[in-house]
Amino acid sequence: MKKDFYLTRYALIIKKLESAPATYAQLEDYLLNSFEFQDADIKSYSIRTLQRDIREISNLFNLSIHNKKKGDNRYYIESRPTMEVDEYNQKLLESFQVSNALNVHPDFSGYIFFESRKPTGVDHFYDLFFAIRNKRVVTFEHYNFKNKLMTSRKVHPLALKESKGRWYLIAIDTNDQLLKSFGLDRINYLDVSKTKFREKYRYNFREHFKNAFGVMNLTEQKPQKITLKCSRHQGEYIKSFPLHQSQNEIKETPEDIYFEFFLHPTYDFMQEILSYGKEVKVLEPKSLVDEIRNHLKESLNSYLED
C-alpha cells in the first residue's frame, strides 16, 4: 500500500459510509474499483489496513466508525462532529481529493487548470491562527484601498474568515476597542508578540456571520428578508450553488425562479447581485432596490459622460 495514499483512502471510506453502511467486503470492492485505486495500481486492501484507517479517521476528522450494528458487521458512522467541525472536514476532504490527483499524476498541467489570480496573504495564516488560539497580541501594518494609507495596528485577534477566495482577520482594534476585519493580503510586517490579552470577548462568530454575506457585517445591523427574481437560466445555477445558507426557493414559473434570503443587505451582497446583470432582479426590500437602482444610474452616467 502506497504510504502517500492514505488521505485518499480516508476520503473514499467516508464517502462510501456517508451514503450507506457497508461490510468490509463491500468497502474493499468499492475501494479497489474506484478510479483512485485503479490509477494508483493498488490491487489489495486488507482488513488490518481498514481498522488502522478507521482509527486515523477518528483522530483526524472526529468521526466515530463502528461495525457492531444489529450484529450484521456493517461499518457505519456512529456519530458526527459539530456543524462547525463538519464544515472543516468537508473542506479538508476536498483538498485531499484535489491534491492527491495532482500528486499521483505529475502531468496534470495539460488537464487541470486553476484560476490565474493568485491569493496573497495566506503566508500569515498560521501565525494568526496561533495568535488566536493562544490569545497573543498582534501588531502589523495595514493598507487601506479607499484612502490609500498604510496604518499601524495593534489588535486582539479573534477569528479568521474566508470570503470569495480572500482571507480576513477578525480582531479588536486596541485603539478604539471596535471589532474590525483586516484583509490578510493587505497585512505587512506582522508580529505575534509574547504578550497575551486577558479580555474575554463574548462574540459568537457563527451567529455573527450566519446572516452575513462576506465579512462586512461587523456592526449592529438587523438582517432582512430579501427576495430575488431570477431568469430560469440563471436561477438554475443559483439553485445548484446557493448564494447563502438562508437561500430558499419560493416560486417557479416557466420563465423565472424566485428566491428568498434572510441576511444583511451588505455592499458585498449588492455587488454579487449586480454581477448577474439583467438576469437577477431584487424585488424587496425597497431600500436595497433603491440602492441598486441608484448604483446602476451612476454607472450609466459614468459611461454617458465619456
**Model confidence pLDDT, tens digit, residues 114-127:** 776 666 678 898 89
CATH (domain of 186): 2.30.30
Among 197, 213, 241, give the residue marking a domain's end. Answer: 197
In a domain, 295, yes or no: yes
Inform me whether the pLDDT recorded for 155 exceeds 60: yes
169 and 85 in a common domain: no
- Which of 54-63, 136-145, 255-264 has the weakest average pLDDT? 54-63
7 and 105 in a common domain: yes
Mean pLDDT value across residues 29-39: 89
Indicate the length of the chain as a whole number: 306
- Which of 1-5, 31-35, 230-234 has the weakest average pLDDT? 1-5
104 and 52 in a common domain: yes
Q: What residues have CB less than 8 Å from 129, skipping those under 6 apart?
A: 160
Q: Give residue 162's pLDDT.
A: 85
Other Cβ atoms within 10 Å of 13 Cβ, number: 23
| Residue type present at position 267 | Y
103 and 24 in a common domain: yes
In a domain, 203, yes or no: no
Measured distance CA(278)–CA(281) in Å, rounded: 7
Quick one: cell of 238?
Answer: 443559483
Contact of 229 with 256, CB cutoff 8 Å = yes
Number of compact structural domains in the chain: 3
User: Each residue of 99-111: pLDDT tens digit?
Assistant: 666 666 666 667 7
Measured distance CA(23)–CA(238) in Å, rounded: 38
Q: Per-residue DSSP letters for 227-272?
A: EEEEEHHHHHHHHHS-SSTT-EEEEE-SSEEEEEEEE---HHHHHH
228 and 184 in a common domain: no
In a domain, 213, yes or no: no
Q: What residues have CB less than 8 Å from 187, skipping those under 6 apart?
A: 121, 124, 140, 141, 142, 169
133 and 77 in a common domain: no
106 and 136 in a common domain: no
Q: Which of 18, 78, 16 lies closest to 45, judged by CA? A: 16
Inform me whether the pLDDT recorded for 281 exceeds 60: yes
CATH (domain of 8): 1.10.10
Measured distance CA(18)–CA(16) in Å, rounded: 5
In a domain, 33, yes or no: yes
Measured distance CA(127)–CA(193) in Å, rounded: 11
Inform me whether the pLDDT recorded for 98 exceeds 90: no
Among 110, 132, 147, give the residue marking a domain's end. Answer: 110
Other Cβ atoms within 10 Å of 146 Cβ, number: 5
128 and 103 in a common domain: no
Q: Give residue 4's pLDDT.
A: 62
Inform me whether the pLDDT recorded for 113 exceeds 80: no
In a domain, 266, yes or no: yes
In a domain, 45, yes or no: yes
105 and 25 in a common domain: yes
Q: Which pLDDT band holds residue 297 (cuts at 50, 70, 90)?
A: very high
Q: Containing domain of residue 156, as a range?
A: 124-197
Inform me whether the pLDDT recorded for 305 exceeds 70: yes
Other Cβ atoms within 10 Å of 119 Cβ, number: 11
CATH (domain of 290): 3.30.70
Among 53, 84, 110, give the residue marking a domain's end. Answer: 110
Taking phi first (over 0 means left), then psi (-120 to 50 degrees means alpha), and beta for anything else, what does residue 5 get? Answer: alpha
